[in-house]
Structure 1
């Protein structure tokens, strides 16, 4: 992905017009509040393309305190201004997702240290790689990368079967064809959960269930010890602990993708004065 072309275009009108492009300067980045940092790899590539001398003091996944320096760069003003805003944007958006994800993970693990927090594939098209990387920097995991990496049966799939006999044949064939894959099924009531557990589903994705219903589904693990259960639908930082208390094995959420970008202060100064 060419981040620079998107912002620079053909040239920087302002820096060129002011006649300051050849002057030497230093640029630094620091958060205005505590963050979990993400975006260093992408910013490093930008700096390398522009041949900007740089020193990173922090790496992806680091907890950075307010006003701690993340990065310092030295080059001519033309190059610094080309790198400035796109680098700031990357840090702010990716660190926002990483920091929010980390809050979710800490809240859930405070209830159940072995629980996992995963994110859906409802990411913004074209930004999946950056979003998932930020989630992982925050301690989360991808739930599904796409249709190609996991098996998850939705109601929209079930609507194509005329009766249970046909469905059960299809389910059996699916398990046989992809014997190395776990078979997950989205369910929204106990009857569905019990039925698919009896068919041999490996994972029940419990969609928008209230806490009592979710706890009832979790008890299926007594009858089917191999079974894993996830909670999904409307889960965010204010209620994730309540879902974790229900006993699910992992939590699936889209909320990190809507995290607010964080403020990263950028300072640029001339060095020869």
Structure 2
């Protein structure tokens, strides 16, 4: 029986275009000439996608979708689930069918699967680091172009939560917006006047003085950008639960616990998606 995903999987509609683009890039103008030269068209193969090191699974659907683009007859048996922590040596999925299709799809599937599992694994490390506090770990928009939906899904698989997905789903006033408006207060005032009743307004501040100015205009969220731990703790006392406080700026596994203990609500970590190490996953032929 296929293990049940621990995180609601992305619809195929969102993943399939990424798969097609990656396959087209790899196939180039003549297709997989190595498979054509060395592997008979009717040859069969059974192979395992296996984790070379321990980590958190994310993106197993890329295996199925990559193979389906080349041969709908290839079977894929998932042996793990998205969101599951697995030790090194775990077989994530077994595939059986046309050998050419499996070998041609191999690199596309491994590239995406390794990337997504790496993000999920790093996210889980950050989530574990703040365990026992009330802080939640969230991502940013520092994602690979074209892969945002998949990479943010991987963050969820690792136990994190998602920040905004794009420029259109929330207002986030950064330092350059403030410079263009003239002040934090004026930027928040304009944003509140523009926003509909379902759109939240967040503003970035870089000092306790700016924090006070922002509070006077009732934003939904205030981002504390590169605050010291002492100033974060003071900000938490000042706000006293009136708005959500987000800590941001150069957060690492070495610093995230101390940040969480200041009492902030959310810690945004760009490294989840821009610096995650790919999880080493390989494809091993069975019975050879």
Decide: shared fold, TM above 0.5: yes
- Measure how far apart 1:181 and its partner are: 2.8
**Counterpart of 1:86?**
108
Which of 217, 223, 228 is the matching residue for 1:210?
228
Contact 1:23-1:270 within 8 A present in 2 as well: no
Contact 1:28-1:73 within 8 A present in 2 as well: yes
Computed over aligned residues only, the root mean square deviation of the Cα atoms, in angstroms, reads 2.0
Which of 57, 60, 81 is the matching residue for 1:37?
57
Q: Deviations over 1:220-246 (max 9, x none)?
A: 123xx3211110000122211111011
- Measure how far apart 1:7 and its partner are: 1.7
- Ranges in structure 2 where 5+ consecutive residues have no aligned partner: 1-16
TM-score, normalised by the number of residues in structure 2: 0.85
**Counterpart of 1:226?**
242
Residue 198 of structure 2 corresponds to residue 180 of structure 1? yes
Residue 217 of structure 2 corresponds to residue 199 of structure 1? yes
Residue 156 of structure 2 corresponds to residue 131 of structure 1? no
**Counterpart of 1:247?**
263
- Structure 1 23/196 Cα, relative in aligned 2: closer, same or farther at 3 Å? same
Q: Deviations over 1:129-160 (max 9, x none)?
A: 22111111111122111111111112222223
**Counterpart of 2:80?**
58
TM-score, normalised by the number of residues in structure 1: 0.90
**Counterpart of 1:260?**
277
Q: Deviations over 1:153-179 (max 9, x none)?
A: 1222222335788657535524xx433
Which of 15, 37, 42 is the matching residue for 1:22?
42
Residue 257 of structure 2 corresponds to residue 238 of structure 1? no
- Measure how far apart 1:191 and its partner are: 0.3
Aligned length: 265
